[in-house]
Structure formats: C-alpha cells, structure tokens
Amino acid sequence: MQRFKDKSVIITGAGSGLGRAAAIRIAKEQGRLTLVDLNEAGLQETGKEIRNAAPDAEVLLVTANVASEAEVENYVAEAVKRFGTIDGFFNNAGIEGKQNLTEDFGSDEFGKVVNINLNGVFYGLKHVLKVMKEQGSGAVVNTASVGGIRGVGNQSGYAASKHGVVGLTRNSGIEYGQFGIQVNAIAPGAIMTPMVEGSLKQMDPENWEQVGEEFVQPNPMKRFGKPEEVAHLVAFLLSGDAGFINAAVIPIDGGQSYKY
Ligand code: NAD
C-alpha cells in the first residue's frame, strides 16, 4: 500500500510511543513527514528508525513545545514551507501527569497537563485547519483516550484535558466537514508505550511489570495494545480510505470501554 504517496503529514509527539509508530507506518507508505516533539533525542531516534524502515522517506524534524502557540505556528509554517501542503495531521503529543486524588491534585500540575494535552491540541487544530481549509482537503486525528470518554480516577488533569479533546474533535469536525476536511479522535486504552510504563512505575516502582499483568486482566483481550495497532488505525483515518468518517471518537482498547 502506498496511500501517502506525495502527501504531507504532521505528527506531534513523534519522538516516542504512538507518534513514533504512526511515523514509521506512514513513512513506509511514502508519506512526507514533519515530526514534532519536545524531546530532541527521541525525535532523532525516530528519524533513525525511519531511515532503517523506509530509506527514501522525506522527513523534517522540528523540536517544539505544543503548549506554546508560537511554536505550534512555527511547526505548521515549517511543514508548509518544506512540503507545500498539509494533507494529514496526527495531533497526538501529551502527558499523563501525576496520579492523585482530586483534593491532592496540585493546581500547578492540573494547569501543566491541560496546557499540553488540551491547549496544545487546540493550537494545532487552529493553525492546521486554516491551511487545510485553503486547500479544501485534509484529515486530522486527535489523540484522546479512554480517559476522555470514561472516568478512570486519580487523573483530574488528564480526564479534563482528554474529555476536552473529545469536545474539540466534535466541534471542529462539524465545522470543517463542509470544507472537505475530516476531524476525528482516537481513544486508546492501555497501549504499551513509555507513558504507560511510567504510569505503572508510579503505582509500584519495584514490581511494575507484575502490576501491568494484573492491570490488563479486566480487559476482554487480557493484554496491552501495541503502538503498531494504533498506527494502523491512525494511518487508515488519515489515508483518504476513511473519507466519510468525521467527528468520530474511535476507541482502540480491546473492548474495555464497552464492558459493564
Ligand atoms: P509517550 O510518552 O511514549 O510519547 C509522548 C510524546 O509526546 C513524547 O515523545 C514526549 O516527548 C512528547 N511530548 C510531551 N509533551 C510535549 C510537549 N509539550 N510538546 C511536544 N511534545 C511533547 O506516550 P504515548 O503513549 O505515545 O502517548 C501519546 C498520546 O497518546 C498522548 O496524548 C497520550 O495521552 C495518548 N494516550 C496514550 C495511551 C497509552 O496507553 N499509551 C492511552 C490513551 C491515550
């Protein structure tokens, strides 16, 4: 499959986990990539993995903080300058934040998580949708979470931000469908990435792998998802094959969010 031939795709949070897996998936299908992350070393590693997996891929690496609107404006401008269009946007960078009861959830921590996970997604939408509207085409995938459609607990900042991402997705999806643009969100369950590893280590730094085994038992599939499985969904939604899916929030969680 070469669904991304001559298509320009921006991916935020591309230095790790879901963003990296999507970058490799889309590079293998000849996408021209603008990869954004705050972590420069992570970005370089993704660039290296892409060179191994898809040696001819065109890749632009941009170190940026998605919580800064000026830096978001800049990565959008860099992508347009290099590739001319923005055909796909995986608006994905995010953090989990510290786990705590609401009364103990620091207000600074709340602000930090919301700034990155919600403001960052909004800035991305604002600046990318303007370009896509002028083109009259494009597809966006925002990364929400099961924590954006269900209560998880101990995650005030994460819950508020991810429920907000769901709201932004529905809002922009109904606004921009008329311009030939789709805006969807994915709602991953527990996918084994460095973020989930960090989360398990917050629960028990010594025995986090065992905690992980127990953690997935309530899941109908009794396992963590793989970043590559999420990458397949993201690529489908951005590829043009999913042309009439818009303003949708799609769980990818082994069925967990449907379970009573
Ligand atoms: P990860 O920690 O492996 O990757 C996240 C990447 O985002 C990192 O490279 C990090 O440097 C980058 N990032 C963080 N803050 C940034 C900022 N301010 N500006 C630019 N880049 C920044 O985590 P992941 O699991 O790949 O998570 C990706 C997205 O998926 C996040 O939005 C996360 O909330 C969401 N998600 C993950 C899971 C899961 O189980 N892994 C489940 C639901 C939702």
At 143-194, the pLDDT tens digits run 999 999 999 999 999 999 999 999 999 999 999 999 999 999 999 999 999 9
Distance 178 CA to ligand 1 centre (A): 30
Q: How many angstroms separate the CA atoms of 27 and 93, rounded?
A: 19
Separation between Cα atoms, residue 93 and residue 129, nearest integer Å: 17
List, for residues 201-250, the tens digit of each pLDDT value.
988 999 999 999 999 999 999 999 999 999 999 999 999 999 999 999 99
Q: Which residues, including other chains, have CB under 8 Å from residue 37's CB and lie 6 or more apart?
A: 12, 13, 14, 15, 16, 19, 43, 46, 63, 64, 93
State residue 1's pLDDT score: 85
Q: Is the CB of 253 under 6 A from ligand 1?
A: no
Model pTM score: 0.98
Q: What is the mean pLDDT of the chain?
A: 97
Ligand 1 pocket member 84 (CB < 6 A): no
Q: Is 233 close to ligand 1, i.e. is its CB under 6 Å away?
A: no
User: 17 CA distance to ligand 1 centroid (A)?
Assistant: 7
